[in-house]
Structure 1
C-alpha cells in the first residue's frame, strides 16, 4: 500500500499544485521498473511456490521482514506482494542484496534498513545445509549483509530443496571467503598455511575480471578437504583482510524444505 506524507507539502511547497493522487503516481514507468526481475529459469518451480506460499501465510500486518536472495525467495516475495495488494497489509522489507532490493521495488513492496528498523523475522535460501542446520551461503556475494540481517532477526526461515542437504559442509559447494582486494595474496597465503583446501578467485561471467561483492570486495572460493568445525569461521576471520565467510553457524534458523 502506498502512503503519502502530507508534510511533503510543507517542505516542498510546489507539491500543493498537484492532487495527492498525482503525486503518488510520480514513479518510474520505464521497462526495467515494471518487468519481472527474475529472468532465469526456476527449477522445481511448483515445489518452490508451495514453500513461497507457506512463507507468505506467516506475514502479519506491521511486520518488518528480512528478505534474502535466490529464486525461492523471489517467489516468496511475489506471494507476499499479492497478499499486500489484496489485503492492504502494511509491511516493510529489509533486503540483503541489490537483487532483493530490485525485486521489492518491482513488486511494489516498501523497504527499510537496519538503521531504522529491526526485522520481526526473515527468510532466505542456502547453498548447503548439514544435519546440524549449519549453512553455506554466498553464491550471490551478499554474505555480509545476510549475516547482519539474520543476526538481527529472532528467526530466519531457510527455503531449500532436497538437493541442498549434505552430510558434510563443503560437500557440493566451495566455501566463499569475502576479502578486501588489497589482501588477496596475504589471505591466500594464510589460508594455505592454515588448512588443506583448493582456492580459486571467483571470476565474473557477465563482465571481465573478478566478481565484486555487494560490499565492493573479492571472493575466494575454498574447496574444503576436511570437516568443518564450529571454530573454523573464527579462525578464518582472524586473518587480516578477511571481511566475511559463507559459513552460517549458530544462527536462529528454521529449515523449510521445498
Structure 2
C-alpha cells in the first residue's frame, strides 16, 4: 500500500508506477491525498483505497520548499491536511523535488499555507502575530471570484513569518480554528532530487 501525494510531481510518479504495473504485474494499492489525485490514479489504472481502510507502508510527495534539515513547506495545492495525515501514517517517506526547491530557510520563496475554519479567520490572524507573523492573506481563487476552499471546506491563509523556527508548526496548530499548516517539521523524509 503506497501513499500518493498531490501535485504535478506526484502525477508524474503515478504515471511511471502505472507503466510498471502494466509491464511487471505488480500488486499494489494506492491512497491518494486529494480528490484530483484519486481521479488521476483511477485514470492510470491504479487500485485506490483509503487511509481509513488500509495503512500505507510508504509514501511519496513533492514539496514547495525543503530546508537543510529536511523540514518541508507544502500545500500550495491545498491538500495539506491529507498530506500531513499520510506523512504521519508512514514509516518511510520520500519527497521528490528538483534543486530549485532547496532553501536555507522555509518561507523563503513561498508563504506557509494554513488551513483554517472560516469562522475563525480573524482570531487565527490575531494569534499568528504571537509567532512572528509578517504578513498574511486569504488565498484567492484564480478561476473564480472569492477565496479558495480546501476539500475540508476550510479557507487557506498564506502566511509569511519573520522566522520559521523549530516548533512553529506546533505553535500554529495550537491555535483554535487551525486544521493544519503546510509546515512539516521533524518527519525526516528521504529527499530524492531530480
Fold equivalence (TM over 0.5): yes
Deviation at 1:235, TM superposition (A): 1.2
Show the counterpart of 2:181.
245
Give 1 or 2: higher helix fraction: 1
Q: Does the 8 Å CA contact 2:70/2:188 hold for their aligned counterparts?
A: no
Q: Does the 8 Å CA contact 1:210/1:218 hold for their aligned counterparts?
A: yes
Give 3-state SS (helix, strand or coil) of 2:96's partner.
strand
Q: State the 4+ residue runs in structure 1 displaced beyond 6 angstroms.
A: none
Show the counterpart of 2:193.
257
**Aligned pair partner of 1:222 in 159, 164, 168:** 159
Q: Does the 8 Å CA contact 1:65/1:121 hold for their aligned counterparts?
A: yes
Deviation at 1:115, TM superposition (A): 1.3
Show the counterpart of 2:172.
236
Whole-Å Cα distance in 2 between the matches of residues 67 and 191 of structure 1? 31
Q: Does the 8 Å CA contact 2:3/2:60 hold for their aligned counterparts?
A: yes
Whole-Å Cα distance in 1 between the matches of residues 95 and 26 of structure 2? 23
Deviation at 1:195, TM superposition (A): 1.9
Show the counterpart of 1:29.
none
Deviation at 1:193, TM superposition (A): 4.1
Larger radius of gyration: 1
Whole-Å Cα distance in 2 between the matches of residues 120 and 177 of structure 1? 27
- How many residue pairs match? The answer is 194
Whole-Å Cα distance in 1 between the matches of residues 181 and 5 of structure 2? 16
Deviation at 1:192, TM superposition (A): 2.4
Whole-Å Cα distance in 1 between the matches of residues 130 and 118 of structure 2? 20
**Unaligned runs of at least 5 residues, structure 2:** none
Give 1 or 2: higher strand fraction: 2
Let me know the Cα RMSD of the aligned residues: 1.1
Q: Does the 8 Å CA contact 1:155/1:252 hold for their aligned counterparts?
A: no
**Unaligned runs of at least 5 residues, structure 1:** 1-63
Show the counterpart of 1:158.
95
TM-score between the two structures when normalised by the length of structure 2: 0.96
TM-score between the two structures when normalised by the length of structure 1: 0.73
